């Protein structure tokens, strides 16, 4: 699961796209995620970040295989 990284912010758990970080602090990065349509999903008791619904669906597909 990807947490917040000071330099790179959050990253998508599927395509590894990054958002926030650098000059943006945790809260600002959270806000950017929200405005950019990122989603949080709980999977096996852990939270994951996805940049879009498609990445989440692809992630689930791979998990099932
Ligand atoms: Zn993604």
pLDDT tens digits for 9-39?
999 999 999 999 999 999 999 999 999 999 9
Q: How far is the CA of 14 from the centre of ligand 1 (A)?
A: 5
Query: For residue 48, is it within any domain?
Result: yes
Rounded to the nearest whole angstrom, what is the distance from the C-alpha of residue 48 to the centroid of ligand 1?
A: 11
- How many domains in the chain? 1
Q: How far is the CA of 57 from the centre of ligand 1 (A)?
A: 10
47 falls within a domain: yes
pLDDT band per the 50, 70, 90 thresholds, residue 64: confident
pTM: 0.86
Q: What is the model's pLDDT at position 1?
A: 45
pLDDT bucket at 65, cuts 50 / 70 / 90: confident
Compute the distance from residue 44 Cα to the ligand 1 centre, in Å.
19
Kindly state whether residue 16 falls inside one of the protein's structural domains: yes
Strand positions, DSSP E, 1-65? 10-11, 18-19, 39-43, 46-50
Structural domain includes residue 1: no
Q: Which domain holds residue 35?
A: 10-64
Which candidate, 37, 33, 45, places its Cα nearest to that of 1? 45
Q: Is residue 5 part of a domain?
A: no
CA of residue 40 to ligand 1 center, whole Å: 12
Question: Is residue 32 a part of any domain in this protein?
Answer: yes
């Amino acid at each position: 699961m990807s947490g917040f990284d000071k330099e790179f912010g959050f990253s998508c758990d599927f395509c590894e796209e990054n958002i926030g970080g650098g000059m943006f602090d945790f809260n600002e990065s959270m806000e950017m995620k929200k405005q950019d349509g990122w989603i949080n999903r709980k999977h096996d008791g852990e939270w994951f970040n996805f940049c879009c619904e498609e990445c989440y669906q692809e992630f689930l597909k791979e998990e099932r295989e």
